[in-house]
Amino acid sequence: MDAATGKTLWKAFAIDRPPAPAIKNGAGTQMYGPAGAAVWSAPTVDARRDCRYSATGNSYTDVKEGGSDAVVAVDLASGRTVWGRQVTENDNDLSGCASGRKLVNCPTTRGHDYDFGAAPILAPLSNGKDVLVAGQKSGVVFGIDPGSGGVFWRTHVGVGGFLGGIEWGTATDGQRLYVANADVVVAEDGRPGLFALDPPTGKDIWYAPSPKVGCSWAASAPCFNAQSAAPLAMPGAIFAGTTDGHERAYAAADGRILWDFDTARGTYRTINGIDDQPGGSIDVSSGSLANGMLYLISGYRGILGGGSNNVLLAFSVDGR
């Protein structure tokens, strides 16, 4: 869009061809494809290369395409696709198409719903180059060449799945990459928690597991609080929230917990005194930093569990 007028300057599509008639479903209705590759997150701008990068979601049909579960680079001036890197093929899935439900619109070959829900991060390296980092719901973090789309490295931090892996974002402080891994509703024991990775190699530096809680999905399976919210990095510390309402600060060097606040049970000072209204679950975002303050929304519940009371909280080092 033109920033001054709102006029559309160009359009870019993750799937490079329009949908066409494919098969007829069980009700006799004509189905079309390809479809999908939704963009869940904000794009990442690379002023050095005059590009912007987007990460895409899964496919919705059986028709093969190359734009879903992908990272796509687009020229800023023209909207031309510079490169696209699909990391998972045939990830065909629609909400509601669960096992045992015979719905006529479901893909015949179902994938694992390995969306990219998180925006890619352009991380600078000590040698003057960059790496484009993208975390997927598969539990895999990819280090990608921003110039060509080639994959430098891939690191498995979790099991991944429908609500597993990297949900909403990663962070960097210029030295390490910080990855929140949800791993809830997964097929085997997951690794929910916060990870620190080495940007040039993807090597796992440290792992701080989420505290263990009771399981609301399967009584026989081990359960942890989902670490789904995007972490927030500052020099020396990383802020990360979990779905039970805890906001924590971790030491950037080794993952030690420096501070822990339970937003679902705490009491807060308001303009009228002390308010005992609790917060709820922390999902999507671990807050924002500005002028020495941490601002946090507690109460986004989604379907990962936790409380749904909503509060907006402001924290400072000295509590004023």
Q: Show the 3-state SS of 30-98.
A: EEEECCECCCCCCCEEECCCCEEEEECCCECCCCCCCCCCEEEEEECCCCCEEEEEECCCCCECCCCCC
Same domain flag for 70 and 211: no
Is the pLDDT at 320 greater than 70, yes or no?
no
Same domain flag for 165 and 290: yes
Same domain flag for 66 and 168: no
Neighbours of 145 (CB within 10 A): 15
Total structural domains within the chain: 2
Residue 233 falls inside a structural domain: yes
Is the pLDDT at 171 greater than 90, yes or no?
yes
| pTM for this prediction | 0.90
The encoded tokens of residue 20 equal 């066409």
Residue 106 falls inside a structural domain: no
Same domain flag for 288 and 143: yes
Neighbours of 319 (CB within 10 A): 6
Same domain flag for 3 and 79: yes
Residue whose tokens read 């339970």: 262
Q: Domain end: 96, 127, 159, which one?
A: 96
Instruction: Check which CATH number belongs to the domain holding 190 and give it.
Output: 2.40.128.630
| The pLDDT of residue 77 | 95
Residue 215: pLDDT band by 50, 70, 90 thresholds? very low
Residue 310 falls inside a structural domain: yes
Give me the mean pLDDT over the 206-227 stretch: 64
Residue 266: pLDDT band by 50, 70, 90 thresholds? low
Residue 163 falls inside a structural domain: yes
Residue 244 falls inside a structural domain: yes
Percent of the chain residues past pLDDT 90, beyond the cut: 66
Please write the tens of the pLDDT for every residue from 116-159. Answer: 999 999 999 999 999 999 999 999 999 999 999 999 999 999 98
Q: Higher confidence at residue 292 or residue 189?
A: 292
| The pLDDT of residue 318 | 76
Same domain flag for 40 and 139: no
Give me the mean pLDDT over the 12-18 stretch: 93
What's the burial of 185, exposed, middle or buried (CB within 10 Å: 0-12/13-18/19+)? middle
Q: Domain end: 31, 65, 96, which one?
A: 96
| The pLDDT of residue 274 | 54
Please write the tens of the pLDDT for every residue from 34-67. Answer: 999 999 999 999 999 999 999 999 999 999 999 9
Same domain flag for 133 and 81: no
Residue whose tokens read 């829900």: 117
| The pLDDT of residue 221 | 41
Residue 162 falls inside a structural domain: yes
Same domain flag for 225 and 178: yes
Same domain flag for 56 and 126: no
DSSP assignments along the chain, one per residue: --TTT--------SS-S--EEEEE-TTSPEEEE--B----S--EEETTTTEEEEE---BSSSS--SSSSEEEEEETTT--EEEEEE-SS--B--TT--TT---TTS-SS--------SPPEEEE-TTS-EEEEEE-TTSEEEEE-TTT--EEEEEE-S---TB-S--S-EEE-SS-EEEEE--BS-SS----EEEEE-TTT--EEEEEEPPB---SS-TTS--B----SBPEEETTEEEEE-TTSEEEEEETTT--EEEEEETTT--EEETTEEE--------SB--EEETTEEEEEE---TTS-S----EEEEEESS--
Q: Which domain holds residue 252?
A: 117-316
Q: Domain end: 96, 126, 150, which one?
A: 96
| The pLDDT of residue 216 | 44
Residue 212 falls inside a structural domain: yes
Amino acid at 187: A
Whether the bond between 34 and the residue before it is cis, its omega within 30 degrees of 0, is yes
Is the pLDDT at 70 greater than 70, yes or no?
yes
Strand pairing class (70-75; 51-55): antiparallel
Same domain flag for 23 and 75: yes
Same domain flag for 204 and 305: yes
Same domain flag for 10 and 47: yes
Residue 104 falls inside a structural domain: no
Question: Could you give the CA distance from residue 102 to residue 174 in angstroms, rounded to a whole number?
Answer: 48
